[in-house]
């Protein structure tokens, strides 16, 4: 059991997560194995399974940490914006910057879903909801929409950003690739929000009432 006893269970857990992340960042997630992680922290594979049920759980814990870091990055990205529209651009910019900086770990969230569905729900749901909420707040501030419209608009915009990232940011993104992603994202957000605005504009013309941007039925 190698050096078991030198570290607590939670210390081994953290060491393993960090070692695994370094392997993924450096070589991609295909290169991840229990053997490599154990060897990197000087423990046996057996010790690793003392801490994680299986490799699947280790992967989902890493995905959870990546989502936490993404969330922190987006909070940071929001620190300078004032107007909701500007903040939505900031969310898009922050998301793409994160994907470009950590391409392997970002892809792993979507491409390495656990086989055990319960494990997935357990780890992801809250963290995903928290990301959606960042967009929801901005859309609510921007538009007088029924709850259901804000719900759909939030998921449509996040999906759009996700699609832009996955279609543009490869496994070894360079500056040019990220700039193209940012350009596409601003284009998509801009026209989408203008579209929400159009409907309001028409409804304002018809009803002589309105807010800055409104949502259609």
Q: Which of 198, 203, 204, 210 binds a second copy (CB under 8 A)?
A: 198
Neighbours of 113 (CB within 10 A): 16
Q: Is residue 110 involved in binding a second copy (CB under 8 A)?
A: yes
Whether the CB-CB separation of 94 and 74 falls below 8 Å is answered with: yes
> According to the binding rule CB under 8 A, does residue 171 interact with a second copy?
yes
- Residue span binding a second copy (CB under 8 A) among the ranges 56-64, 69-77, 95-103, 152-160: 152-160
Decide whether 12 or 109 has the Cβ nearer to a second copy: 109
For a second copy, the closer of residues 49 and 151 by Cβ is: 151
Can you state the angle between helices 9-27 and 103-111, rounded to 10 degrees? 110
Binds a second copy (CB under 8 A): choice among 140, 192, 204, 210: 192
Interaction of residue 193 with a second copy, rule CB under 8 A: yes
139 binds a second copy (CB under 8 A): no
The one among 155, 174, 179, 209 contacting a second copy by CB under 8 A: 155
Any contact of residue 31 with a second copy (CB under 8 A)?
no
Count of residues in contact with a second copy, rule CB under 8 A: 34
Which residue, 78 or 128, is less far from a second copy as judged by CB? 128
Among 111, 129, 133, 174, binds a second copy (CB under 8 A): 111
The answer to whether residue 203 forms part of the interface with a second copy (CB under 8 A) is no
Select 83 or 187, whichever has its Cβ closest to a second copy: 187
- The CA distance from 67 to 102, in Å, is 12
187 near a second copy, judged by CB under 8 A: yes
* Residue found under tokens 């990197």: 40
């Amino acid at each position: 059991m190698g050096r078991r006893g030198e570290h607590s269970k939670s210390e081994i857990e953290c060491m393993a997560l960090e070692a695994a992340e370094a392997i993924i960042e450096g070589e991609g997630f295909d290169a991840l194995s229990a053997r490599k992680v154990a060897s990197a922290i000087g423990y046996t594979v057996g010790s690793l399974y003392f801490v994680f049920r299986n490799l699947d759980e280790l992967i989902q814990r890493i995905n959870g940490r990546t989502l936490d870091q993404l969330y922190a990055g987006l909070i940071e990205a929001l620190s300078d914006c004032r107007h909701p529209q500007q903040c939505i651009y900031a969310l898009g910019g922050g998301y793409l910057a994160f994907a470009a900086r950590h391409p392997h770990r970002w892809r792993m969230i979507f491409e390495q879903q656990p086989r055990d569905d319960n494990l997935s729900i357990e780890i992801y749901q809250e963290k995903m909801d928290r990301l959606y909420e960042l967009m929801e707040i901005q859309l609510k501030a921007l538009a007088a929409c029924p709850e259901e419209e804000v719900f759909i608009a939030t998921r449509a915009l996040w999906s759009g950003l996700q699609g832009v990232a996955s279609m543009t940011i490869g496994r070894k993104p360079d500056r040019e690739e990220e700039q193209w992603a940012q350009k596409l994202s601003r284009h998509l957000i801009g026209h989408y929000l203008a579209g929400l605005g159009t409907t309001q504009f028409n409804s304002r013309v018809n009803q002589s009432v309105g807010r800055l941007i409104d949502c259609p039925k």
